[in-house]
Amino acid sequence: MTAQVAESLPQEVTKPSLRERIRMHGGYLPYLLVLPTMLLILVIAIYPMLDSLRISLLNNPLLSQPSFVGLRNYTRVLSDPVFITAIGTTIFFMLISVVLETMLGLGIALLINKTFPGRGLVRAAILVPWAFPTVVSAQMWLLMYNDQTGIITYILQSMHLLSAGDTLIGSRIGVIIASIITDTWKTTPFMALLILAGLQVIPTELYEAASVDGTSRWQRFIRITLPMLKGPLLIALLFRSLDAIRVFDLFYVFGQRSVPSIASYANFKMFAGTAEDFAPGVAATVIVFLFGIVISLVFLFLMRESTSRN
């Protein structure tokens, strides 16, 4: 009944109701066909997630009879000043590194989108930093940040940005800066690649028509390239932000115990503490997960906005 009424209203035509969408037009076959996939997702994604949630509500999951303690583990980590600082560190790192990577990635993508001799080689070469496992590149950069032999320490000391005998990774802000530098070095190519893919689907006719109309390069960039890039850019930003909020390797190597990110804090709790610390560590990972959900929702909203406006 309601569905019929809804159908008769013109403004509702574009948005079928949930009930309409699950109407059994094709019998059970479609559902049967997606069932294996759904089961697989249930087993490998939903179940572990729910199980982590369950563990985070127990006192000590390693006991044979663990007891339910409600949100105690959450209040415990959230009242730990080290964890609060870790949240600040991680969010600061995420904002700065994602902005830097997007700007540099956009610039590089625009450059390698042009035709020039050796373009294929440059496109391949630019991906090299991204191909390294993060923990390996972190160790390489650690050598460069080393207080005695590190090239970056040497440069910073000769510019008098660091006092003699000090190192960048000796302070909290220094560790964050070091992580941002390394992360930007490593993942800018990834951003560039995603943006390049977006650039390549923009029809050249648009630019041709615009240049016939006598537009400047800047106008074409602002009026054509950026609006057309919005979709791919949002996806790239979503990927990077989700990656950055759960940053682990860089802080594990540079910050160690003194400057943890949320994820490395959780790791130290779960695997380097006593048995009592395991459940609070799981609670910390659930918090990382919640951050991820919030970020995804924000981007989902932005993407809906952009598609509905188009």
Partner 1 sequence: MITEQREALDEIIRKMRSGRITRRHFLERAVTIGLSGSAAVSLLEACGGSSNSTGGNGAATNLVWQSEQEATGTYQALTNTFNQTIGHKQGIHVTWNQGPAAANDMIIKYTNMLRARNNSIDILSIDITYPVQFAASNWINAISDRQWPVSERAKYLPGPVQGCTYQGKIWAAPFRTDIGLLYYRKDLVSRPPATWDELTSVGQSTQARAKYGYVWQGAQYEGLVCNFIEVLHGYGGQVLDPHDPTKVVVNTPQAQMALAKMVSWVGGISPEAVTTYMEDSSRLVWQNGNAVFMRNWPYAYTLGNDPSQSKIAGKFAVAALPYGGNNTVGHSAIGGWNLAMNSYSPHTAQNWEFIRYMLQPAAQRQTAIAASLAVTLQSVYDDPEVLSKNPLFKQLKPILQNALPRPVSPRYSDVSDSIQQHIYQALKKQISVNDALSSLDTDLKRIVAP
Is residue 61 within 8 A of residue 279, CB to CB? The reply is yes
Of residues 171-200, those binding partner 1 (CB under 8 A): 171
Instruction: Kindly tell me which residue out of 101, 183, 243, 277 binds partner 1, with binding defined by CB under 8 A.
Output: 277
**Rg for the chain, CA atoms, rounded:** 25
The residues with which 68 forms a beta bridge, in sequence order, are 58
The length of the chain in residues reads 310
Residue recorded with tokens 């390489």: 140
Instruction: Kindly tell me which residue out of 165, 203, 216, 301 binds partner 1, with binding defined by CB under 8 A.
Output: 165
Nearer to partner 1, 163 or 204 (CB): 163
Of residues 129-148, those binding partner 1 (CB under 8 A): 146-148
Nearest 5°: phi and psi at 13? -60, -40
CB of 294 to partner 1, least distance (A): 29
Is residue 241 within 8 A of residue 94, CB to CB? The reply is yes
169 binds partner 1 (CB under 8 A): yes
CB of 67 to partner 1, least distance (A): 17
Distances (CA, A) of 292 to 21, 94, 263, 286: 28, 12, 12, 10
Amino acid identity of 287?
A: I
Instruction: Kindly tell me which residue out of 122, 131, 275, 294 binds partner 1, with binding defined by CB under 8 A.
Output: 275
Of residues 48-87, those binding partner 1 (CB under 8 A): 62, 82
Nearer to partner 1, 268 or 291 (CB): 268
Is residue 101 within 8 A of residue 183, CB to CB? The reply is yes
Q: Which residues bind partner 1 (CB under 8 A)?
A: 62, 82, 146-149, 163-167, 169-171, 256-258, 268, 271-277
